[in-house]
Amino acid sequence: MQQSNPATATFPRILLQHAQVRPSHPAYREKDLGIWQCWNWAQVADEVRAMACGLAAIGFQRGMNLAIIGDNRPRLYWAMVAAQCLGGVPVPLYQDSPAADLEFVLQNAEVQFVIAEDQEQVDKMLAIQETIPALKHIAYDNERGMRHYHQTGLLSIRQLQEQGRAYDQAHPQFFTQQVELGQAQDTALILYTSGTTGKPKGVCQTHASLMAAASGGISFDHLSEHEDILSYLPMAWVGDSLFSFAQAMMAGFTINCPESSETVMTDLREIGPTYFFAPPRVFENMLTNVMIRMEDAGWLKRKLFHHFIDVARTTGAAILDKKPVSLGERIQYGLGSLLIYGPLKNVLGLSRVRVAYTAGAAIGPDLFRFYRSLGVNLKQLYGATETCAYVCLQPDGHIKFDSVGLPAQGVEVKLGAHGEVLVKSAAMLKEYFKRPDATAEVIDSDGYFHTGDAGIFDSDGHLKIIDRAADVGQLLNGAMFAPNYVENKLKFFPYIKEVVAFGNAREKVCAFINIDMEAVGNWAERRGHGKYCGD
């Protein structure tokens, strides 16, 4: 959905448009006590309005930051838009962070208001409230276990919305006036980096930058309001902000929140998303579970499985990419779809997936090839928190297992010193919160963001990420080498557990290799090698 005036395009305005254009279309679902609850766009707009007015009633004002912590819950997503309606900025936090780790972010972001999921998150806030005197108001979603909490400034979201509806009745023009004040270049979201090399930094992304990334992805993958997505990854992570917030708001598709982290795989099968994102470890765990189950299956089922998986490896990816395949191979693959691939995708919850993405770590080519051979359109993307996770995408029909694709629409990518990937686009960060020095370090005078990653372009223009730029070494003969690139190539070999490559200022690259004793032991046992002889 596009705004007529890009200068005033904001997520609150988008929300109100959805409420007018597709009021009865499912916007959010949440599984609670085994039952899926649903809210349409008109209901979401009403909930957000009540929440925004409730925040205003207890003192939240334009320019303030609202911390949000908890698992993926509809009301937590609505709190993000409610803050934006008032000209405030949501700051999602990692829900599994201990209180001590949250203290720096809350102080740095000057947080006075928090929306928390449940008793666990409220307890964290109360534990550090004494050291953060500015933190005065905490609203919680799940009221279970909160009966005997009577601290000042503590209330449920239900109570907050009740106050909001009363405030709205008393000030009927207030909400609309506040939304109209919003501008595209206002900060829409602050996402804090992990802080692995120092204190976390708050990445300020504007409505315009998030919308640029969202619109680019929607156009690239032909997404519509009819998509279903399962939102289970941390709300504080940039990928969730792109997929489950920005793209969902722009396209108007449906967000599904699982009951808990333990039920994600079950809920995935029930929803059957059409658009799916998971880091490589999730896809690895899915495949591992499948292989374990097949070991317990009967002889005939195992035989059929391995036969048709071999067929899929040969022809599946080519069929998915609409490349030439013989009639006989197509018939074999069709039979495999009926007997193996279809039921397997159904068990995994991937039957309806049109587009699936993975990112965040290198994915083994065999794993990548396995899912694509089943007909799952799995692709890789490349991005960073500072670029709204939007730099490179893999186009359908042009998938390379060792690349992250081509520069996305509207994104300029070039290589700097030591092969560092430099990026310029409308999806870049506005600034680091209260850190002009850090902002100046990563954005050069030409407006390029320095990612810190080293990469190379292949002959087709696809980008390959090989390492962190700071870790790229140089041999004595002047040749450059990337330790991580070498390590990943070796680690994808099934009998290698860990690898450390080194060679900077040496004649050649060497590596320490930690073999996987269990895998090698199983290999040796199957072949009758290395039998234990005793003392």
H or E segment and range at residue 477? none
- Domain assignment present for residue 164? The answer is yes
What percent of the chain stands above pLDDT 70?
Answer: 93
| Total domain count, the chain | 4
Residue 467: predicted pLDDT: 75
Among the three residues 471, 499, 518, which one is the final residue of a domain in this structure?
A: 471
Between these two residues, 473 and 169, which has the higher pLDDT value? 169
Q: Which of 231, 255, 249 is nearest to 11 (CA)?
A: 249
H or E segment and range at residue 200? none
Same-domain check for residues 65 and 182: yes
Q: Is the pLDDT of residue 398 over 60?
A: yes
- Domain assignment present for residue 218? The answer is no
Q: Which domain holds residue 460?
A: 392-471
- Place 285 in a pLDDT band, splitting at 50, 70 and 90: confident
169-194 b/e with 16+ CB inside 10 Å = b?
eeeeebbeebbeebebebbbbbbbbe
Per-residue pLDDT reduced to its tens digit, 399-455: 998 899 999 999 999 999 878 999 999 999 999 999 999 999 999 999 999 999 989
Residue 408: predicted pLDDT: 96
Same-domain check for residues 426 and 515: no
Same-domain check for residues 501 and 405: no
Mean pLDDT is lowest, of 334-343, 460-469, 518-527, for 518-527
Same-domain check for residues 109 and 253: yes
Residue 290: predicted pLDDT: 86
- Place 535 in a pLDDT band, splitting at 50, 70 and 90: very low
How far apart are alpha carbons 247 and 413 in whole angstroms?
Answer: 23
Residue 534: predicted pLDDT: 45
Q: Is the pLDDT of residue 365 over 90?
A: no
CA angle 528, 532, 535 (to 5 degrees): 155
How far apart are alpha carbons 531 and 518 in whole angstroms?
Answer: 14
Q: Is the pLDDT of residue 461 over 80?
A: yes
| Model pTM score | 0.88
Same-domain check for residues 181 and 152: yes
- Domain assignment present for residue 73? The answer is yes
What type of residue sits at position 500? V
Same-domain check for residues 430 and 500: no
- Domain assignment present for residue 413? The answer is yes
239-264 mean pLDDT: 96
Q: Is the pLDDT of residue 193 over 50?
A: yes
- Domain assignment present for residue 514? The answer is yes
- Domain assignment present for residue 226? The answer is no
Per-residue pLDDT reduced to its tens digit, 44-99: 999 999 999 999 999 999 999 999 999 999 999 999 999 999 999 999 999 999 99
Same-domain check for residues 111 and 259: yes
Given the structure tokens 């195992």, which residue do they identify? Answer: 302
CATH number assigned to the domain comprising residue 425? 2.30.38.10
Residue 297: predicted pLDDT: 82
**Mean pLDDT estimate for the chain:** 91
Same-domain check for residues 176 and 66: yes
Among the three residues 436, 456, 471, which one is the final residue of a domain in this structure?
A: 471
Same-domain check for residues 29 and 161: yes
Same-domain check for residues 349 and 400: no
Q: Which two tokens stand for residue 27?
A: 């916007």
Residue 469: predicted pLDDT: 66
Same-domain check for residues 483 and 425: no
- Domain assignment present for residue 322? The answer is yes
Most confident of 253-262, 398-407, 520-529: 253-262
- Place 478 in a pLDDT band, splitting at 50, 70 and 90: low
Residue 341: predicted pLDDT: 93
- Domain assignment present for residue 1? The answer is no
Give the rounded distance of the alpha carbon of 342 from its chain centre: 26
Same-domain check for residues 97 and 144: yes
Other beta carbons within 10 angstroms of residue 14's beta carbon come to 22
Other beta carbons within 10 angstroms of residue 328's beta carbon come to 9
CATH number assigned to the domain comprising residue 194? 3.40.50.12780
